[in-house]
Structure 1
């Protein structure tokens, strides 16, 4: 009886641990499917529907590509590790392969997160110019400039992601059983020191960019509110030089909601990073913080679908085109943008085509 009574709490704890692991695994699998499918649809709409190949469309495609990398590389690796843990009760990887995988997925997750933040900032600036200077929008915001800014965003973001590892030998990448992701960590047996402060670079950069995004959105919405108020008071359409398109206002609102969603999902991870630098472990909170941020990769498509009627129209057009192609051996070429070239080739032609001929 003593043996049974002493083992019962252990069995109960083991059962609860197993049940919790299964629930977390199901969440990871769901996020993998949702992130992948949602962002694949976004990229297909961008490449296949011509009206979306604008400067704003390029930025949204960059955001979708960063989120897709999280859904295809980062989350599946966590699923693989957790399946191993639940199936065998221990890790079935060699230390070398474990470090190699984490040195790939860890910086990808950090870099794609920074890309998402900087891209949302660029989207906010693009919408602000469109609202405040509608006549100068096409001259200021060109596709070539947008592509250059996207490349700068990806380069800076991934350089920052590798900075903690390259700046000191005291920081490495390890799979964290608490967060279920590959995180920056100290080698076994070493305690955090002054080198750990380099990780503060992430919250400083992120909150600086997010603060700029919030200020930009505030200016944009103030202008939109003033425009709508003036239009209501006059009871007539404003002059062409001061007229805002409904699509510009809708896009500004969509990007404002995107900013709020990302700020909400990023705040817990910033608190966790600061706490880690101060020496706190926060195992349970780390899972909540990191996976709240990860789940943000599938929120973008949901926000587009609810708030952006042009995106919904693009999705309908995309799937109608697929139905027409499958139903007929001679597809309607008017839906192909009068071009039989692959979508990626068409996009590249538009990027390098002179702006004044579009």
Structure 2
């Protein structure tokens, strides 16, 4: 403690300070991008009736998981790093001690990650049914079934996120000055024997779902390729028994891009988890691994905007809604009840309402 002032001056004059400030700026930009992007996505999916479909509800679930990362997980890391920098503490002085917020943000980040990959898997299944069995899509994929699958994915994902702490009392959550995140850790005083291997469950779960998602997407695109080939041979007339639309094909492409983006962002963190179980300590690599995965929370809206024309049209309608409302005619009596209720309540009622045959 005697050398606090001199070490502070040394730290302020060192290039390490610039690196810490750049990381803080990165966190601020990520918070803005994640929150704004996913709020726009939720408003588009929930306000526009054309998106009140099974696919739209799944994308809204994905946006909600990403929004939770931008509202809770990243701001806590920003608070810890800003407090550390304001106090004049270097990276080595930022001790990793258990704290109550870590027991919230740590499982929340893990649970939201599991929700993301589970939702992408469900989106791939939904598109596969729409492409392989277009005439049976409405009977197989209903809004009510989709709502129950969303609830199941959230409950399963967050249950899985707390499995390491429940499986062993030695595994806890601490804020890591290396990764700038709350991570699962094993006390240094004890050797990580078999209980630490439970962390491999995270990588096994995600890679199993990713493998299944890639297989489903491969089958879907093989069917789309055959459909396009048959359509070229028959001219503009669609093959018998198939009613694939341009929006169905575009949605399949969008979901495949989401799958590749998540796979690219998750692979470094999977390598880090496996390395940690084997006893390796990768301080600098852990920062890049965790924050590459975190940045994935703001990619979805960019992917939708680039590949989905319906989403772009929904965004334009969302921001031009006040102008449209002022010039539109008064709503009919049948729709006044829906407009008076909050949009989220109306969506929930629509999701769980039994659908007529």
* TM-based fold match above 0.5: yes
- Any stretches of 5+ residues in structure 2 without a counterpart? 1-5
Question: What is the 5 A alignment of 1:6-85?
Answer: 11=10, 15-85=14-84
What are the Cα deviations for residues 188-219 of structure 1, in whole angstroms up to 9, with x where unaligned?
A: 53342221100000000000000000000000
Most deviating of 215-224 and 180-189: 180-189
- 1:259 and 2:259 aligned: yes
Work out whether residues 147 and 352 of structure 2, in 8 Å CA contact, stay in contact via their aligned partners in 1: no
Instruction: Give the Å deviation of 1:350.
Output: 1.4
Distance 1:68 1:227, change over 3 A: same
- Secondary structure of the residue aligned to 2:320 is helix
TM-aligned CA deviation for residue 353 of structure 1: 2.8
1:318 aligned partner: 318
- Name the CA distance, whole Å, in 2 between partners of 1:82 and 1:222: 48
> For each residue in 1:323-344, what CA deviation from the matched residue of structure 2 results, as whole angstroms up to 9, or x when unmatched?
445x68x98548x965322211
Residue deviations 1:142-179 (CA, integer Å, cap 9, x gap)? 01111111111111111110000111011000000000
What is the correspondence of 1:1-358 to structure 2 with a 5 Å cutoff? 11=10, 15-90=14-89, 99-187=99-187, 189-239=189-239, 241-324=241-324, 333=331, 339-340=338-339, 341-356=341-356
Q: Secondary structure at the match of 1:175?
A: strand
DSSP 3-state at the match of 1:242:
coil
Structure 1 unaligned spans of 5+: 1-6
Q: Which moved more, 1:43-52 or 1:71-80?
A: 43-52
What CA distance in whole angstroms lies between the structure 2 residues aligned with 1:61 and 1:110?
19
Work out the CA distance in 2 between the residues paired with 1:47 and 1:203: 32
Note the aligned Cα RMSD (angstroms).
2.5
Per-residue Cα deviation, 1:255-308 (whole angstroms, up to 9, x for no partner): 000000000110000001000001111111001100000000000010000000
Is the 8 Å Cα contact of residues 324 and 331 (structure 1) preserved in structure 2? no
Q: Is the 8 A contact 2:120 2:258 kept in 1?
A: yes
Task: Classify 1:277/1:14 alpha carbon distance in 2 versus 1 (closer, same or farther; 3 Å).
Answer: farther
Query: Does the Cα contact within 8 Å between 1:50 and 1:337 map onto a contact in 2?
Result: no
In 2, Cα distance between equivalents of 1:223 and 1:94: 54
TM-score between both structures, scaled by the size of structure 2: 0.91
| Change beyond 3 A, Cα 1:247–1:95 | closer
Q: In the aligned structure 1, how far is the partner of 2:298 from the partner of 2:126?
A: 22
8 Å CA contact 2:135–2:243 kept in 1: the answer is no
8 Å Cα contact 1:107/1:158 also seen in 2: yes
Paired with 2:105 and 2:11, the residues of 1 have a C-alpha distance of 34
Give the Cα–Cα distance (whole angstroms) in 2 for the partners of residues 114 and 322 of structure 1.
Answer: 37
Cα 1:337–1:271, aligned 2, differ >3 Å: closer, same or farther?
Answer: farther
**For residues 208-247 of structure 1, what are the alpha-carbon distances to aligned partners after superposition, in whole Å with 9 as ceiling and x for unaligned?**
0000000000000000011111111121312562120110
Distance 1:162 1:45, change over 3 A: same
